[in-house]
Amino acid sequence: MTEAADLTALAPRGVTLLGCGKMGGAMLEGWLASGLPPASVTVLDPNPSDRLKALAGEGLKLNPERLGEADVCILAVKPQMMGEAAPKVAGLAAGGTLYVSIAAGTPISAFERLFGEGAAIVRAMPNTPAAVGRGITALIGNARVSEAQMEAAETLLAAVGETVRLEDESQMDAVTALSGSGPAYVFHLIEAMEAAGVAAGLPQDLAARLARVTVQGAGELARLSPEDPAQLRVNVTSPGGTTAAALSVLMAEGEGLTELATRAVAAAAARSRELAG
């Protein structure tokens, strides 16, 4: 997590959050937990939650009639709503505000048309584990983004997980397909393991618990271990044993899990490119 002093220093004029749904809300909670005062945040949301209303009582600026200055404006509304919502914060560009978009499938060029070619814009792709502080966000900025602004964007997004920089915006479709959509693949894996356990004779509640905790534990082991996933797989696979029998199916040439995952990620990346127009 980012230290409180860093968050306050990086945005002395405050942060404006356009949209406060699940992802925007997760970021807001991360900032507050890291020490950013509610009074440093302005939220524009047409249907504010009870939590936002409570924070307004602590100084958070909720749907003000007139926007003040901001160092950073996070664009956290759905892509299909961006055309209607973005003009509400377009005036911030004149004050040098950095815009950070987390709208999937929306290229930087679209925001340059909305805010002007002189606007500093970072495109980011977080994922849903941000809700528990374990997300990962990929970022890329346009030519107007300074190194200090890029670091500010990383600091804000690091409040909900890890961050990585991309070399080129063209990589964003693959990022969207891998880490952006990736949690859904893991959730489906848990579903599949649960169903397989039931088919093998386990009660559903037991199969569900075993599948969920196994995936959770394996993920944590992969995160903390100095060994790569291939070696971790080898470590748990005894020659001729039960794991080897299962892997002979999952790693079957031409039809195994790697080929299936490759096709799935390719399909998601292709759809991301379609959405970007």
Give tens-digit pLDDT for 200-211. 999 999 999 999
pLDDT-derived band at 236, boundaries 50, 70, 90: very high
63 is in an annotated binding site: yes
Q: For 240-272, how does the pLDDT look when each residue is reduced to its tens digit (9 = 90+)?
A: 999 999 999 999 998 899 999 999 999 999 998
Homologous superfamily (CATH) for 4-172: NAD(P)-binding Rossmann-like Domain (3.40.50.720)
22 is in an annotated binding site: yes
Locate 268 and state its tokens.
């998601």
76 is in an annotated binding site: yes
pLDDT score of 89: 97
Q: Tell me the C-alpha distance between 76 and 159, whole Å.
A: 15
What pTM value is reported for the model? 0.89
Where b means 16+ CB within 10 Å and e means fewer, 118-157 reads ebbbbbbbbbbbbbeeebbbbbbbbebbeeebbebbbbbb
Q: Which residue has the higher pLDDT, 274 or 219?
A: 219
Q: Tell me the C-alpha distance between 38 and 139, whole Å.
A: 25
Q: Tell me the C-alpha distance between 29 and 114, whole Å.
A: 28
Q: Is the pLDDT of residue 11 over 80?
A: no
pLDDT score of 4: 40
244 is in an annotated binding site: no
19 is in an annotated binding site: yes
DSSP state of 252: -
pLDDT score of 6: 59
Average pLDDT of the segment spanning 183-203: 98
Strand order, beta sheet including 72-75: 61-62, 41-44, 15-18, 72-75, 98-101, 120-125, 135-141, 161-165
Q: Is the pLDDT of residue 153 over 50?
A: yes
Q: Is the pLDDT of residue 22 over 50?
A: yes
- For the chain, what are the domain ranges? 4-172, 182-276
Nearest 5 degrees, angle CA 146-CA 62-CA 132?
A: 70
Surface-to-core class of residue 117, CB atoms within 10 Å of its CB (0-12 exposed, 13-18 middle, 19+ buried): exposed
26 is in an annotated binding site: no
Residue located via tokens 């973005």:
86
pLDDT score of 12: 79
Homologous superfamily (CATH) for 182-276: ProC C-terminal domain-like (1.10.3730.10)
pLDDT score of 3: 41
Nearest 5 degrees, angle CA 91-CA 92-CA 97?
A: 155
Nearest residue to 100 via CA among 81, 80, 119: 119
Q: For 69-85, how does the pLDDT look when each residue is reduced to its tens digit (9 = 90+)?
A: 999 999 999 888 998 99
pLDDT score of 8: 66
Q: For 108-144, how does the pLDDT look when each residue is reduced to its tens digit (9 = 90+)?
A: 999 999 999 899 999 999 999 998 999 999 999 999 9
pLDDT score of 273: 87
Nearest residue to 276 via CA among 104, 46, 101: 104
90 is in an annotated binding site: no
